[in-house]
Each structure stands twice: as C-alpha cells, then as structure tokens.
Amino acid sequence: MMKETKEATVDLKSVKSPKKTEDYAKYFQAPSLKDAKKRGKEEILVHYDFNIPEDMQNIGKGKRYHVRTYGCQMNEHDSETISGILQAMGYTSSDSVEDADVILFNTCAIRENAEDKVFGELGHMKRLKNNNPNLILGVCGCMSQEEKVVKKILKSYQQVDLIFGTHNIHRLPELLRDAMFSKEMVIEVWSKEGDIVENMPKLREGNTKGWVNIMYGCDKFCTYCIVPYTRGKERSRRPEDVIAEVRDLARQGFKEIMLLGQNVNAYGKDFDDIEYGFGDLMDEIRKIDIPRVRFTTSHPRDFDDHLIEVLAKGGNLVEQIHLPVQSGSTEVLKRMARKYTREHYLELVRKIKDAIPNVSLSTDIIVGFPGETDEQFEDTISMVEEVKYDFAYTFIYSPREGTPAAVMEDNVPMEVKKARLYRLNEVLARIGLEQNKKLQNQVVEVLVEGESRTNSEVLAGRTRTNKLVHFTGDKSLIGQYVHIKITDAKTWTLHGELVSKVEV
C-alpha cells in the first residue's frame, strides 16, 4: 500500500490520496533547487529559545535510535545535534540498526556515488521495517534538499517514514511525533532558510576534539557544487555565541577545536551592525585556553591579509590550512566560477608561507571538469608540485542536477578522467612522502586520539599540522598531548617513539 504524504502546515482533510508521484509535490513541503537559489536581503534572526515541547520529552523513553552520517564534518556535527535532540526526548543510542526504534540517515549530495550509497543502504532497511512496523526510518541532510531525491524516495522507497531538510533539524521533535502517530510519510524540507537556531542540545563524540559551527550556508555558487542549494545562504553565528561555545568546551577539558563553515573566510560578511570578520574572530579565540584551534574550509578568494597576520601569531592557532584549489588552470577555474586565478592562488600561498614558516597546506582537487584539456590538467599537476601540498582530497567531477556545470558540454571520456585521477594521486603521494621525510628524527607534539584503526596495540594521534602518527604507548595517554620522536616517515603516516608527556 502506498502511503499518503503529510503536509506540515496545510490542512490535509480535503486532500485525497494522490495516485501519481508528481501529485505529491502539492501536498507536502517539497524542496526546490530553484527556490534554494534565491538569495534575499531578509534579516537573519537568531533564535535562543529552542526547547523540546513537554509532551515530547519522554516520548523516546525505553527506545533506541541510530544515526548514520554521510558527508562532511558539517554533517557529522549536525548528527551530534540530532543525537542531542533525540537524547533530550528520552531516546538512548544504539550502535546497530537492528535494535533501533528510530533510524536516521544524515545524507550527503556532493557527488553521485555519495547518493548511490545512501539509496543502496535505504534498500537494505526494508527488511527491518518489515520485521518492526513501528520502526521510524528517516532521511535528512543534503540529499533531502533535492527534489529529485524526494521524488525517488516517494516512488521507490516506501519504507521511509520521514524526510526533513538541513534547515529543519530544530523541528525534529514535532516531525518525529507526526511520523509516529500519522503513519503517513512526513516530509518537511524548507528550501529557503533564514534563521539561526542556537541552544540546541548536542551529543558530542568523545571529549577530546570538538566541532564548532561559525557559519552556515554558502553563497559562492561554484558551478559544479550543490552545497549553496542544499545549505542555503551564508549566515554567521554571532561572535559572542561562538566564543561562548569555545570557552565552554575549554572548560569541559576539550583539547582541540575545529571551527566549521563551508567558507569560513566569509564569516561576518552578513553582519549589518558590526564590522567583524574571520580574522577578528580568530584573534579572540586565540586568547581562549584551549591548546589547538583549526578551521575548515577556507575559500582562497576571501583569505585576507588580516587573517594571515592573526594566524602568524601561532599559539593555539595551528600551522595547518586547508585551502581548496580545485584546479591549477586559470581557464578551468573561471568555468568553475572560483573567482581567482592560478597566479592569485600562488601569491596567496607565498604570503601564507612567508608569514607561517612551517605551515602545512592541504587541498581539494577536481579532475575531469567539463572540457578540461590535457594541458589544463598538467597545470593542476604543476600547481601541486609548486605548492607541495602535504595532503589532498581528489575527486572526479560528478555532475549535479540543477548546477550550471551540469549542462556544460563534457567531452572528457571517463577513462581519461580516471587516468588523470590516478596520475594526480601518484604525484601527491610522492610529494606527501617527501614532506613527511623532513620530519624524520624530529620530535613532534601529538594529541593522542585513540587506538590505531588497524592495530589496537598501537596508539594514533595527530601533530599540529594534522599528520597521523602511530606509536606504542599506554592507553591512559588517550586524550593527552605527548612528544613523539619520528622514526619512520611513510607516505600518509608517521611512526614514532614516545619521548614524554606534555603538560598543557
């Protein structure tokens, strides 16, 4: 039997069960990429009054939830909020989907293979749903902001009970109640954002590294990218709210903070009452008693001199910058609408390296953008050689429906794209090893994060430059800072020996 859909705000009494998928669009709050693209000048409101309605505070008592996260750190952090809300409703977490009463997939839309994975796993959930008709299966995150995804779920994934968007997380208690009691597919995806909701509960993973959002959304509209549509326009959290959160984490004993935004360098540009940018924010966070502060991601275009000056002060501001380049060819960068040239980027790198001598740079690169020639790809290779990145995330271009690049003529065969990716990764590996070799026999400061993923006898941690270090030591060192002498430098990992514990 097909489920009826439920609109969250319109009275459904008069609505008959629609027969065709297209009809559904009239009856629920469906996403629209076109609406998502509209950027208004409306004032951004900050809400400080989030609370769980009384009748929902115990709704999850004795029940379990499982959140599965795909995508970037922003999504990981959203999952911490989702978990926090569920716990505030009385739910407890479950490591497995098998015994969960609520399963939420927090999804990513950045590339096609990310989406394919979600659809595959949603398919597997059908069995659980058949075994337990009271199970609530929900889809949230960036995929739910796409019309085509919502339509596909309606048509072929009737086991889904709830779909909510990236701007609707604070509505989770009400949406969950609707999904529980209505037995209809509940869909609420706001295409147009606007507000910032503070004070939502968060269940942080561990107490060593903490994520802190400084802004939401993205206004850059790089031609290949879906994020400005799925995350809405740029909205900065008020500096006092960010600082209060960092201070609170410091008080709780967190050892490292990661500031999050799709383009942190645009922080504060949307304030109309104060002149306050990312450099100013970092200059204040620098004074907070927390040993390490990182940020991601910074768009090269808005990386200004003031920020470089502040970062050069060091201290808890670590000498590591993720600076996505995407391509080394000015022509390709232009078609990507990145709004900088190869020369601008290299000039920025020169300034950063001059100001922060031991800086470690990492990047994101897309190969096989529509029309990318061999020569243009070679420009990317020479860029990598010139900058000497310590690390890079590399991707084959994936067309996203509704973005400008999706309708550009793409004459690069997939085999060529794959060969370019392979070659690029080889060059990156060679340079990565060269960079790591420089640390041979040096003593580095490492924050111990846990056991190594591959060997529970070995501990794993990160340097200030975010390099992974393996060493043998007592488990009591987890969550502590230690000095490690590097004895063996591999391409993506360093191996070393414990020298001493560091008091911070």
Q: Known binding site for [4Fe-4S] cluster: residues?
A: 72, 108, 142, 218, 222, 225
Range in contact with ligand SF4 (rule: CB under 6 A) among 30-38, 134-142, 225-233, 310-318: 225-233
What residues numbered 228-247 form the site for ligand SF4, per CB under 6 A?
Answer: 228
Asked if 381 and 427 count as a contact pair (C-beta separation under 8 A), the reply is yes
**Is there binding between residue 366 and ligand SAH (CB under 6 A)?**
yes
Chosen from ligand F3S, ligand SAH, ligand SF4, none, partner binding at 221 (C-beta under 5 to 8 Å by type): ligand SF4
CB of 323 to ligand SAH, least distance (A): 8
The CB-nearest residue to ligand SAH is 364
Distance CA 294, CA 370 (A): 33
Beta carbon nearer to ligand F3S, 105 or 481: 105
Q: Choose which of 36, 100, 103, 110 interacts with ligand F3S (CB under 6 A).
A: 110
Range in contact with ligand SF4 (rule: CB under 6 A) among 3-11, 74-82, 224-232, 494-502: 224-232
Distance CA 279, CA 52 (A): 36
How far is C-alpha 208 from the chain's CA centre? 19
3-state secondary structure of 279: helix
Chosen from ligand F3S, ligand SF4, ligand SAH, none, partner binding at 366 (C-beta under 5 to 8 Å by type): ligand SAH
Distance CA 63, CA 89 (A): 10
The CB-nearest residue to ligand F3S is 71
What residues numbered 17-76 form the site for ligand F3S, per CB under 6 A?
Answer: 71-72, 74-75
Q: Choose which of 52, 150, 222, 325 interacts with ligand SF4 (CB under 6 A).
A: 222
Token readout for 354 is 């001059």
Chosen from ligand SF4, ligand SAH, ligand F3S, none, partner binding at 408 (C-beta under 5 to 8 Å by type): none
How many C-beta atoms lie closer than 10 Å to residue 441's C-beta?
9
Beta carbon nearer to ligand F3S, 168 or 465: 168
Beta carbon nearer to ligand F3S, 117 or 286: 117
What is the phi/psi pair of residue 282, to 5°?
A: -65, -35
CB of 59 to ligand SAH, least distance (A): 35
Q: State the sign of the Cα–Cα–Cα–Cα dihedral 254, 257, 261, 262.
A: negative
Range list of H helices, 160-303: 172-182, 227-231, 239-251, 278-285
Angle between helices 374-387 and 414-437 (to 10 degrees): 10
Asked if 276 and 239 count as a contact pair (C-beta separation under 8 A), the reply is yes
x/- mask, ligand SF4, residues 430-459, rule CB under 6 A, reads ------------------------------
Give the largest CA-CA distance in the chain: 75
Angle between helices 73-88 and 172-182 (to 10 degrees): 70
Closest by alpha carbon to 218, among 229, 209, 210? Answer: 229
Distance CA 211, CA 375 (A): 40
Q: Which residues, other chains included, contact 404 with Cβ-Cβ below 8 Å and sequence gap of 6+?
A: 221, 223, 337
Q: Phi-psi bin for 209: left (phi > 0), alpha (psi -120 to 50), beta?
A: beta
**Is there binding between residue 263 and ligand SAH (CB under 6 A)?**
yes
CB of 468 to ligand SF4, least distance (A): 25
**Is there binding between residue 356 and ligand F3S (CB under 6 A)?**
no
What residues numbered 142-201 form the site for ligand F3S, per CB under 6 A?
Answer: 142
**Is there binding between residue 364 and ligand SAH (CB under 6 A)?**
yes
**Is there binding between residue 212 and ligand F3S (CB under 6 A)?**
no
Beta carbon nearer to ligand SAH, 21 or 398: 398
Distance CA 9, CA 12 (A): 9
Going by the annotation, the residues of the binding site are 72, 108, 142, 218, 222, 225
Q: Choose which of 30, 52, 85, 110 interacts with ligand SAH (CB under 6 A).
A: 110
Q: State the sign of the Cα–Cα–Cα–Cα dihedral 450, 284, 227, 7.
A: positive
CB of 363 to ligand SAH, least distance (A): 8
Q: Choose which of 233, 299, 400, 467 interacts with ligand SF4 (CB under 6 A).
A: 299
Token readout for 288 is 């907070």
Asked if 445 and 464 count as a contact pair (C-beta separation under 8 A), the reply is yes
CB of 237 to ligand SF4, least distance (A): 17
Distance (Å) of CA 365 to CA 296, 335, 375, 503: 15, 15, 16, 38
Chosen from ligand F3S, ligand SF4, ligand SAH, none, partner binding at 74 (C-beta under 5 to 8 Å by type): ligand F3S
CB of 503 to ligand SAH, least distance (A): 36
Q: State the sign of the Cα–Cα–Cα–Cα dihedral 47, 49, 55, 57.
A: positive
Q: Which residues bind ligand SF4 (CB under 6 A)?
A: 218, 220-222, 225, 227-228, 262-263, 299
Q: Which residues bind ligand SAH (CB under 6 A)?
A: 110-111, 224-225, 227, 262-263, 297, 299, 324, 326, 364, 366, 395, 397-398, 400
